[in-house]
């Protein structure tokens, strides 16, 4: 008897090979087993998707033509049916191949280990159950709001949206929800997701402190391959009770998954921006339903999708599918910071930081408190320009300027990485007087140093200014040590990009300032206001987190915003910390314009040598969609250049699809896929380097 295996392997992108490849084996294995199979001249890892006994005539005609399976990693329990369903759903929904999603979801090191090596690894791994022996430590008694949220969480099925102010104790709710689960069901598993790697250490410490070191493992791309494998095996084998991770963790194999937490659910980093462009938050909700695990999304500024989805029933509207839990109050007596808007139109020309703001920061330095200023632009200046001619520091390979970095006197393109030494004189006219235009974090840091040269700390020592951004944290471990310095009070004024705005539980920061947030107010991207609002709320949440510290200092928490549009409704809502008001207004606009969450979108993007070639492909694709299933319910817009049209000498264009029906959009995308593959080989596909579909795109 011979067996036919259909195996998901990572086939080259856009190859004509199907989703699964067939192989022959003399013995059956369970679906979900990992196997090694030949592919071309290589031997690759694959996941067995289905197993059938071969029919007698196939034995002769078919199976003999099939290559044999090279070996099975059968020391490892097969991946469950629900895991395979998740992978299959993600592949279908995001228009990728099964093998790509399945293999990307596995730790890279599995690809290298032989069956024998893996068996040895597994023996070393802790046996299931041993981790649960440590009794969880109790947390603080929950506040009234926490208790109410937890009670509803226990009583209802969800999915839940925990809408809680920064510092209202959302993390504590996650901890207690996990504790209650493990008490009821000691073998259960919980998945807790955070948007960014740099937020994992603090959260990991809190979970390990509560549940013991052995019960908690992390999964994120900042780990080494052996670490990732160890965590993955602990999750897959059931030894880990709690898996903490970034978006990739949504695909972790968790045989006893009962609870999924998505912290800061609004965060854009839950959406993968390359390859398979999945939303880990949306997949978490799908996975929760499939596996009967409760899903808890948390945020102080939920995504408008989740906010809309959790609206209560009203009149004829039956309400959303999610259940909203609210925690408006900060823990302790700490009030949310007072928001102060500085009208930059009334400041002297070229003011960078207003006199009032400088005064406020100076006072805090003198009292030994910390302040934080953020500016969403790294480097010294975004452009270098000649005063005599019209030369500017354009990137020769992109439709963007190269950023001036003073530290190493380079011009760097933040899109393609092209870097050169700053020229001594204008490359166009020879004028030696070329000057930085605009301001990045590096320049702001320098500027503050000059302005505060005479300001002293309580002990008479000079002020200490630090900067945290992608440049300052390039080195392994740099971010950790810089954050530790802030926590230890070694920094008085911290300058940085949005990196410092998120999540960190700084205890001594009493003032936060946004130096220049106006850019996003009038962006062509319809999601820009939503992102700005949440970023500013998040930043405000960094100020005055410790009520006891504030009152001991006799200080108050403040959030300063420098803007040319102090009357803007967004700032008005922010001043009142009124996310619901912001969301109501924004949702009205979205509804009127027929945009998400009232419509569903997908982008077809094409990269080509010329803009014409990219657009020709897209427009031909659009024409070919005519008459396909679902097409009558989907609006197809004309192809347009991407916001940054050229990167690394590649021209980029995109085409938007929009529909009030998610199902119709999905049907069209599925029917379109083979058409797109075919088109690539037609004259219209000439010059196209690659194309991709982005479902539920984040920026347009």
Among residue numbers 425 through 444, which ones bind Zn ion (CB under 5 A)?
426, 428-429, 431
Q: How far apart are CA 212 and CA 241, in angstroms?
A: 10
Q: Among 168-176, 425-433, 453-461, 624-632, which window interacts with ligand ADP (CB under 6 A)?
A: 168-176
Which regions of 393-547 does DSSP assign to beta strands (E)? 403-405, 410-412, 419-421, 434-437, 465-468, 493-496, 509-514
**Which one of 3, 89, 418, 526 is in contact with Zn ion (CB under 5 A)?**
418
**Which one of 131, 233, 398, 557 is in contact with Zn ion (CB under 5 A)?**
398
Helix (H, G, I), strand (E, B) or coil at 483: helix
SS3 content of the chain, % helix, strand, coil (to 5): 35, 25, 40
Name the β-bridge partners of 340. 560
Kindly state whether residue 172 participates in binding ligand ADP, applying the rule CB under 6 A. Answer: yes
Per-residue H/E/C for 377-416: CCCCECEEEECCCCCECECCCCCCECEEECCCCEEECCCC
Nearest distance, CB of residue 168 and ligand ADP, angstroms: 5
Q: How far apart are CA 457 and CA 363, in angstroms?
A: 9
Kindly state whether residue 539 participates in binding ligand ADP, applying the rule CB under 6 A. Answer: no
Kindly state whether residue 299 participates in binding ligand ADP, applying the rule CB under 6 A. Answer: no
Kindly state whether residue 645 participates in binding Zn ion, applying the rule CB under 5 A. Answer: no
Q: Among 161-169, 181-189, 377-385, 483-491, which window interacts with ligand ADP (CB under 6 A)?
A: 161-169
The token duo for 211 is: 């549940």
Residue of 391, 389, 428, 393 whose CA lies nearest to 409:
393
Task: Name the residue nearer to Zn ion (CB basis): 395 or 532.
Answer: 395
Q: How far apart are CA 240 and CA 233, in angstroms?
A: 9
Task: Name the residue nearer to ligand ADP (CB basis): 59 or 505.
Answer: 505
The token duo for 335 is: 């009030």
> What region does 504 belong to: left with phi over 0, alpha with psi -120 to 50, or beta?
beta
The DSSP H or E segment spanning 590 is: helix 579-593
Give the one entry of ligand ADP, Zn ion, none that residue 513 binds, where binding means its C-beta sits below a cut-off of 5 to 8 angstroms depending on kind. none
Helix (H, G, I), strand (E, B) or coil at 355: helix
Give the one entry of Zn ion, ligand ADP, none that residue 416 binds, where binding means its C-beta sits below a cut-off of 5 to 8 angstroms depending on kind. Zn ion
Kindly state whether residue 544 participates in binding ligand ADP, applying the rule CB under 6 A. Answer: no
Task: Name the residue nearer to Zn ion (CB basis): 428 or 466.
Answer: 428
Nearest distance, CB of residue 140 and ligand ADP, angstroms: 3
x-or-dash string of contact with ligand ADP, 456-495, rule CB under 6 A: ----------------------------------------
Nearest distance, CB of residue 523 and ligand ADP, angstroms: 28
Q: How far apart are CA 509 and CA 370, in angstroms?
A: 4
Task: Name the residue nearer to ligand ADP (CB basis): 172 or 305.
Answer: 172
Among residue numbers 489 through 518, which ones bind ligand ADP (CB under 6 A)?
505
Q: How far apart are CA 607 and CA 423, in angstroms?
A: 32
Give the one entry of ligand ADP, Zn ion, none that residue 418 binds, where binding means its C-beta sits below a cut-off of 5 to 8 angstroms depending on kind. Zn ion
**Which one of 167, 320, 337, 630 is in contact with ligand ADP (CB under 6 A)?**
167
Task: Name the residue nearer to Zn ion (CB basis): 366 or 389.
Answer: 389
Kindly state whether residue 146 participates in binding ligand ADP, applying the rule CB under 6 A. Answer: yes
Residue of 334, 335, 390, 340 whose CA lies nearest to 361:
340
Give the one entry of Zn ion, ligand ADP, none that residue 386 binds, where binding means its C-beta sits below a cut-off of 5 to 8 angstroms depending on kind. Zn ion
What value does the CA radius of gyration of the chain take, rounded to a whole number of Å? 27
Helix (H, G, I), strand (E, B) or coil at 441: helix
CA dihedral 43, 48, 52, 58 (to 10 degrees): -20
Q: Among 162-170, 273-281, 438-446, 530-538, which window interacts with ligand ADP (CB under 6 A)?
A: 162-170
Kindly state whether residue 168 participates in binding ligand ADP, applying the rule CB under 6 A. Answer: yes
φ, ψ (nearest 5 deg) of residue 563 = -150, 155
Kindly state whether residue 176 participates in binding ligand ADP, applying the rule CB under 6 A. Answer: no
Kindly state whether residue 384 participates in binding Zn ion, applying the rule CB under 5 A. Answer: no
Kindly state whether residue 327 participates in binding Zn ion, applying the rule CB under 5 A. Answer: no
Nearest distance, CB of residue 242 and ligand ADP, angstroms: 16
Name the β-bridge partners of 219. 245
Q: Among 113-121, 167-175, 228-236, 249-257, which window interacts with ligand ADP (CB under 6 A)?
A: 167-175
Helix (H, G, I), strand (E, B) or coil at 680: helix
Among residue numbers 355 through 394, which ones bind ligand ADP (CB under 6 A)?
none
Nearest distance, CB of residue 389 and Zn ion, angstroms: 3
Q: How far apart are CA 528 and CA 519, in angstroms?
A: 9
Q: Among 60-68, 141-149, 197-205, 350-358, which window interacts with ligand ADP (CB under 6 A)?
A: 141-149
Kindly state whether residue 303 participates in binding ligand ADP, applying the rule CB under 6 A. Answer: no
Nearest distance, CB of residue 172 and ligand ADP, angstroms: 4
CA 473 from chain centre, in angstroms, equals 19
The DSSP H or E segment spanning 643 is: strand 640-647
Give the one entry of ligand ADP, Zn ion, none that residue 168 binds, where binding means its C-beta sits below a cut-off of 5 to 8 angstroms depending on kind. ligand ADP
Nearest distance, CB of residue 167 and ligand ADP, angstroms: 5
The token duo for 207 is: 């979970």
| End-to-end alpha carbon distance in the chain | 54
Among residue numbers 608 through 667, which ones bind ligand ADP (CB under 6 A)?
none
Nearest distance, CB of residue 499 and ligand ADP, angstroms: 17
Nearest distance, CB of residue 385 and Zn ion, angstroms: 9
The DSSP H or E segment spanning 660 is: none
Nearest distance, CB of residue 423 and Zn ion, angstroms: 10
**Which one of 129, 140, 396, 432 is in contact with ligand ADP (CB under 6 A)?**
140
Nearest distance, CB of residue 166 and ligand ADP, angstroms: 5
How many residues make contact with ligand ADP (CB under 6 A)?
14
Contact present, 653 and 606 (Cβ < 8 Å): yes
φ, ψ (nearest 5 deg) of residue 540 = -55, -35
* All residues at 6 or more sequence positions from 527 whose CB lies less than 8 Å from its CB, including other chains: 698, 699, 700
Nearest distance, CB of residue 143 and ligand ADP, angstroms: 5
Q: How far apart are CA 498 and CA 443, in angstroms?
A: 16
Nearest distance, CB of residue 70 and Zn ion, angstroms: 44
Residues that bind ligand ADP (CB under 6 A): 140, 142-143, 146, 164, 166-172, 331, 505
């Amino acid at each position: 008897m011979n067996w036919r295996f259909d195996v998901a392997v990572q086939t080259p992108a856009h190859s004509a090979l199907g989703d699964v490849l067939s192989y022959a084996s003399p013995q059956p294995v369970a679906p979900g087993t990992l196997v090694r199979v030949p592919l071309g001249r290589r031997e690759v890892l694959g996941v067995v998707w289905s197993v059938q006994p071969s029919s007698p005539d196939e034995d002769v005609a078919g199976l003999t033509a099939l290559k044999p399976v090279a070996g099975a990693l059968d020391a490892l329990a097969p991946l469950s049916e629900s895991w395979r369903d998740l992978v299959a759903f993600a592949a279908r929904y995001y228009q990728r191949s099964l093998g790509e999603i399945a293999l990307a979801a596995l730790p890279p090191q599995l690809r290298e280990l032989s069956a024998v090596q893996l068996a040895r690894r597994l023996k070393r791994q802790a046996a299931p159950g041993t981790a649960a022996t440590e009794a969880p430590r109790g947390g603080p008694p929950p506040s009234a709001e926490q208790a109410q949220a937890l009670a509803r969480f226990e009583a209802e099925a969800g999915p839940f949206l925990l809408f809680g102010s920064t510092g209202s104790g959302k993390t504590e709710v996650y901890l207690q929800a996990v504790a209650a689960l493990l008490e009821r069901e000691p073998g259960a598993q919980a998945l807790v997701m955070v948007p960014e790697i740099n937020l994992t250490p603090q959260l990991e410490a809190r979970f390990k402190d509560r549940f013991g070191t052995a019960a908690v493992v992390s999964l994120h791309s900042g780990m080494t391959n052996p670490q990732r494998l160890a965590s993955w095996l602990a999750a897959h084998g059931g030894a880990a009770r709690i898996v903490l991770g970034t978006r990739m963790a949504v695909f972790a194999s968790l045989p006893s998954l009962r609870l999924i937490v998505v912290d800061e659910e609004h965060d854009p980093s839950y959406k993968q921006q390359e390859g398979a462009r999945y939303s880990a938050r949306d997949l978490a909700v799908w996975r929760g339903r499939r596996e009967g695990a409760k899903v808890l999304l948390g945020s102080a500024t939920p995504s408008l999708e989740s906010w809309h989805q959790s609206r209560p029933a009203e009149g004829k509207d039956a309400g959303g599918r999610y259940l909203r839990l609210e925690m408006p109050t900060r823990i302790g007596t700490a009030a949310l910071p007072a928001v102060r808007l500085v009208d930059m139109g009334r400041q002297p020309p070229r003011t960078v930081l207003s006199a009032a703001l400088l005064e406020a920061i100076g006072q805090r330095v003198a009292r030994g408190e910390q302040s934080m200023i953020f500016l969403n632009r790294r480097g010294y200046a975004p452009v270098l320009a000649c005063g005599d001619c019209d030369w500017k520091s354009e990137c020769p390979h992109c439709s963007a300027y190269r950023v001036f970095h003073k530290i190493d006197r380079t011009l760097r393109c933040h899109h393609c990485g092209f870097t050169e030494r700053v020229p001594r004189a204008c490359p166009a006219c020879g004028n030696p007087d070329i000057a930085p235009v605009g301001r990045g974090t590096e320049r702001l840091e320098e500027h503050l140093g000059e302005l505060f040269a005479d300001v002293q700390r309580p002990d008479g020592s000079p002020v200490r200014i630090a900067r945290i951004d992608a440049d300052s944290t390039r080195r392994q471990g740099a971010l950790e040590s810089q954050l530790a310095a802030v926590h230890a009070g070694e920094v008085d004024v911290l300058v940085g990009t949005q990196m410092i705005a998120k999540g960190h539980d700084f205890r001594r920061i009493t003032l936060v300032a946004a130096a220049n947030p106006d850019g996003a107010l009038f962006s062509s991207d319809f999601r820009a206001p939503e992102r700005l609002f949440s970023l500013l709320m998040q930043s405000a949440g960094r100020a005055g987190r410790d009520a006891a510290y504030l009152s001991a200092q006799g200080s108050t928490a403040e959030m300063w915003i420098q803007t040319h549009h102090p009357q803007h409704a967004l700032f008005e809502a922010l001043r009142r910390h009124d996310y619901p008001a912001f969301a109501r207004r924004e949702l009205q606009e979205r509804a009127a314009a027929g945009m998400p969450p009232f419509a569903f979108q997908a982008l077809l993007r094409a990269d080509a040598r010329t803009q014409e070639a990219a657009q020709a492909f897209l427009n031909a694709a659009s024409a070919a969609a005519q008459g396909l299933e679902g097409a009558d319910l989907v609006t197809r817009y004309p192809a347009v250049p991407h916001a940054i049209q050229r990167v690394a000498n590649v021209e980029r264009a995109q085409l938007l699809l929009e529909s009030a029906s998610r199902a119709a959009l999905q049907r069209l995308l599925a029917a379109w896929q083979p058409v797109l593959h075919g088109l690539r080989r037609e004259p219209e596909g000439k010059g196209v380097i690659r194309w991709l579909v982005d479902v539920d795109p984040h920026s347009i």
